[in-house]
């Protein structure tokens, strides 16, 4: 299928590829905090993208209408006419949009012609860790044309496929992107383009590629609320844009990229969380060290059973009273279903416990310097609040522990109760990533995390931690193997998707996705398997090696100006490309009717 509209699809993909290149280079190029960066708030909503998106929304709906109409077109002649009308209006709209779109892309990358070959474009697609998807590209999705040679059944099948594809595209078209300024631990910052489907894991992978860090599991995205004096790490399965969307526009909040050993402490030393205080006979000293085998079996017991075991945790904590700066000492217990406390005059038996908070709607944060700000008894505070609350409020709960050990136990315990197996999955992925990174840097390639995998993580993450259907648990040892397989499948998956609209391109080329921004030309693909360290992992270094396509990178500065502002000033060179596209589209429509 898809032969008749191959040319269009190629053009789509070309444009798509360029947009990706643009996006990519944007991130890389703003690497040293550049002057032309507009003096905005800490993180910018990239207005350009947003407005465009919004302006396109209405049209997309109609595009879909047309699609639906097309589905039932065969049924009645009368309907046929309305479709025609719709199509006409659609075309009109396409014109107006294409102007907008071309304006944008024109502004973004002047001088990019349609002469970029389709093959390299597909590599671009694969290169970007998130599926690229720029709104306007998906827009002019044509109603499925009749296949000249095929049977009716095949036609129907093709149509169904196209509709599916169209729906996918439509979904992609609504993707929101943010430019996020990430603070590095050397006080520099990096600006990243984050699309709304990206998880913290993807963003971390992105950052790994942009920095020369060792990719170990402790690296995390960290959000800081200076106003509330709270902070926490993003869980790897969390959707970054979703979290950032809760911030107010004038926020002082920051995103940091740093190492925190607390992030996965439980998986490195499970005994500190699971065996602490349990048996008095086994003193703390004996618990500190545990051999790897025992650790593994403890982890397996705790995380790989039908349900995750939440560490038994109880003890007296200080609770800040609502709206006051006084702290009350209460006896708290952690259970899988929430935090409980022992009411006055009651015992610790389960049915007497009073529920303090359940975890569905709150995130856990570390409180910093609560001693000064809230007169906390110690500085070891943790805070529970709904992610959307951004200012001081009685709905934010502050708890204070006696020492940092207890604090870490509580924070980790709550995370285990809240996220369950997802947390372990995150860790395994992080380990795989770190392992791969150290393994593969020798080969000069850094793999991008397969987007498919993390998204399943998200899915399970939204369910209750204890409510998960048991999955086959991976032992840590097998993770590396697993990860390698993921990379393989990711390679396979992508092309499969592409095939929908791009049957002409040989599949083999997709495999060369491992290097980042500038895609190696198809010939050099073999290096991937042969293991020659031809492609350095960092995008910067490749500039010289890769011919033709990368040579086009230099005209960068203009788009940096354009990006935050509304799209304006169309590049005439691009216009040609777009009109080619429109012509092809119309030709296709002609075939249809």
Partner 1 sequence: MLSSSDFSSASWELVVRVDHPNEKEQKEILLRVSGDLHIGGVMLKLVEQINISQDWSDFALWWEQKHCWLLKTHWTLDKYGVQADAKLLFTPQHKMLRLRLPNVKTVRLRVSFSAVVFKAVSNICKTLNIRRPEELSLLKPSGDYFKKKKKKDKNNREPIIEDILNLESSPTISGSPVSPGLYSKTMTPTYDPINGTPVSSTMTWFSDSPLAEQNCNILAFSQHPQSPEALADMFQPRSLVDKAKLNAGWLDSSRSLMEQDIQEDEQLLLRFKYYTFFDLNPKYDAVRINQLYEQARWAILLEEIDCTEEEMLIFAALQYHISKLSLSADIQDFTNDSEVDEVEAALSNLEVTLEGGKADSPLEDITDIPKLADNLKLFRPKKLILKALKQYWFVFKDTSISYFKNKELEQGEPVEKLNLRGCEVVPDVNVAGRKFGIKLLIPVADGMNEVNLRCDHENQYARWMAACILASKGKTMADSSYQPEVLNILSFLRMKNRNSEFQVPSSLESMDMNPECFVSPRCAKRHKSKQLAARILEAHHNVAQMPLVEAKLRFIQAWQSLPEFGLTYYLVRFKGYKKDDILGVSYNRLIRIDAVTGIPITTWRFANMKQWNVNWEIRQVAIEFDQNVSMAFTCLSADCKVVHEYIGGYIFLSTRSKDQNETLDEDLFHKLTGGQD
Residues that bind partner 1 (CB under 8 A): 61, 64-65, 68, 72, 248, 275, 278-282, 286, 294, 297-298, 301, 305-310, 312, 335-338, 340, 348-351, 353, 355, 358, 360-361, 386-395, 464, 466-470, 472
Q: How far is the CB of 235 from partner 1 (least distance, A)?
A: 17
Q: How far is the CB of 149 from partner 1 (least distance, A)?
A: 31
**What phi and psi, each to the nearest 5 degrees, are found at residue 213?**
-80, 170
3-state secondary structure 72-103: HCCCCHHHHHHHHHHHHHHHHHHHHHHHHHHH
Decide whether 282 or 403 has the Cβ nearer to partner 1.
282
Alpha carbons 227 and 405: distance in angstroms, whole number: 26
Alpha carbons 214 and 200: distance in angstroms, whole number: 17
The burial class, CB within 10 Å (0-12 / 13-18 / 19+), for 494 is buried
Alpha carbons 89 and 286: distance in angstroms, whole number: 76
Which tokens is 341 given? Answer: 């406390």
Alpha carbons 485 and 242: distance in angstroms, whole number: 29
Which tokens is 377 given? Answer: 């008894």
Decide whether 6 or 246 has the Cβ nearer to partner 1.
246
Q: How far is the CB of 323 from partner 1 (least distance, A)?
A: 11
**Dihedral, CA of residue 508, residue 512, residue 514 and residue 517, to nearest 10:** -130
Decide whether 389 or 556 has the Cβ nearer to partner 1.
389
Decide whether 41 or 336 has the Cβ nearer to partner 1.
336
Angle at 126 between CA 583 and CA 524, to 5 degrees: 100
**Helices 6-29, 77-108: crossing angle, 10 deg rounding:** 30
Decide whether 301 or 576 has the Cβ nearer to partner 1.
301
Decide whether 97 or 121 has the Cβ nearer to partner 1.
97
Q: How far is the CB of 156 from partner 1 (least distance, A)?
A: 17
Which tokens is 76 given? Answer: 């009645």
The burial class, CB within 10 Å (0-12 / 13-18 / 19+), for 348 is exposed
Decide whether 316 or 496 has the Cβ nearer to partner 1.
316
End-to-end CA distance of the chain: 19
Q: How far is the CB of 66 from partner 1 (least distance, A)?
A: 11
**What phi and psi, each to the nearest 5 degrees, are found at residue 578?**
-65, -40
Strands 254-259 and 338-341: unpaired
Q: How far is the CB of 591 from partner 1 (least distance, A)?
A: 26
Q: How far is the CB of 192 from partner 1 (least distance, A)?
A: 24
Q: How far is the CB of 502 from partner 1 (least distance, A)?
A: 27
Decide whether 286 or 369 has the Cβ nearer to partner 1.
286
Q: How far is the CB of 44 from partner 1 (least distance, A)?
A: 19
Decide whether 468 or 591 has the Cβ nearer to partner 1.
468
């Amino acid at each position: 299928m898809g032969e008749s509209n191959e040319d269009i699809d190629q053009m789509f993909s070309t444009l798509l590829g360029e947009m990706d290149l643009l996006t990519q280079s944007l991130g890389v190029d703003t690497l040293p905090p550049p002057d032309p960066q507009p003096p905005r708030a800490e993180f910018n909503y990239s207005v350009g993208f947003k407005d465009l998106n919004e302006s396109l929304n209405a049209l997309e709906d109609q595009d879909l209408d047309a699609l639906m109409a097309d589905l039932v077109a065969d049924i009645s002649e009368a309907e046929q006419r309305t479709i025609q009308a719709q199509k006409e209006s659609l075309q009109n709209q396409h014109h107006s949009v294409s102007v907008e779109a071309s304006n944008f892309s024109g502004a973004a990358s002047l001088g990019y012609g349609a002469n970029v070959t389709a093959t390299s474009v597909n590599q671009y697609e694969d290169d970007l860790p998130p599926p690229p998807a720029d709104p306007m590209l998906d827009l002019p999705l044509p109603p499925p044309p009749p296949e000249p040679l095929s049977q009716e059944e095949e036609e129907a099948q093709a149509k169904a496929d196209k509709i599916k594809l169209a729906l996918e595209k439509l979904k992609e078209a609504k993707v929101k992107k943010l430019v996020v300024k990430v603070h590095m631990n050397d006080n520099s910052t990096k600006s990243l383009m984050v699309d709304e489907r990206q998880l913290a894991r993807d963003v971390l992978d992105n950052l790994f590629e942009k920095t020369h860090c060792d990719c170990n599991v402790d690296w995390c995205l960290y959000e800081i609320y200076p106003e509330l004096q709270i902070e926490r790490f993003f869980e790897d399965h969390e959707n970054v844009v979703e979290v950032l969307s809760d911030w107010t526009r004038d926020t002082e909040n920051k995103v940091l990229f740093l190492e925190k050993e607390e992030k996965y402490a439980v998986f490195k030393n499970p005994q500190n969380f699971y065996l602490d205080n349990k048996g008095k006979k086994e003193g703390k000293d004996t618990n500190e060290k545990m051999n790897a085998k025992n650790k593994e079996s403890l982890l397996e017991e705790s995380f790989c059973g039908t349900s995750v075991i939440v560490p038994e945790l109880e003890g007296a904590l200080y609770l800040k009273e609502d709206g006051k700066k006084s702290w009350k000492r209460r006896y708290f217990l952690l259970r899988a279903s929430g935090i409980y406390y022992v009411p006055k005059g009651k015992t610790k038996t389960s049915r007497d416990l009073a529920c303090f908070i359940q975890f569905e709607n709150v995130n856990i944060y570390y409180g910093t310097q609560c001693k000064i700000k809230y007169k906390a008894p110690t500085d070891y505070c943790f805070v529970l609040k709904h992610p959307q609350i951004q200012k001081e409020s009685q709905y934010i709960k502050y708890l204070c522990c006696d020492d940092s050990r207890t604090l870490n136990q509580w924070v980790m315990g709550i995370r285990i109760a809240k996220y369950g197996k997802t947390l372990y999955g995150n860790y395994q992925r992080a380990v795989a990533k770190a392992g791969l990174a150290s393994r593969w840097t020798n080969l000069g390639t850094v793999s991008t995390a397969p987007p498919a995998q993390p998204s399943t993580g998200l899915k399970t993450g939204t369910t209750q931690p204890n409510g998960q259907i048991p999955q086959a648990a991976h032992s840590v040892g097998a993770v590396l193997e697993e990860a390698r397989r993921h990379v393989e499948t990711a390679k396979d998956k992508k092309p499969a998707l592409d095939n929908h609209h791009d049957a002409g391109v040989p599949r083999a080329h997709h495999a060369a996705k491992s290097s980042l921004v500038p895609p190696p030309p198809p010939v050099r693909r073999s290096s991937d398997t042969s293991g020659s360290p031809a492609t350095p992992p960092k995008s910067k270094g490749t500039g010289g090696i890769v011919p033709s396509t990368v040579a086009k990178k230099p005209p960068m500065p203009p788009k940096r100006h354009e990006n935050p502002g509304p799209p304006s000033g169309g590049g005439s060179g691009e216009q040609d490309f777009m009109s080619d596209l429109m012509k092809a589209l119309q030709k296709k429509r002609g075939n249809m009717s």
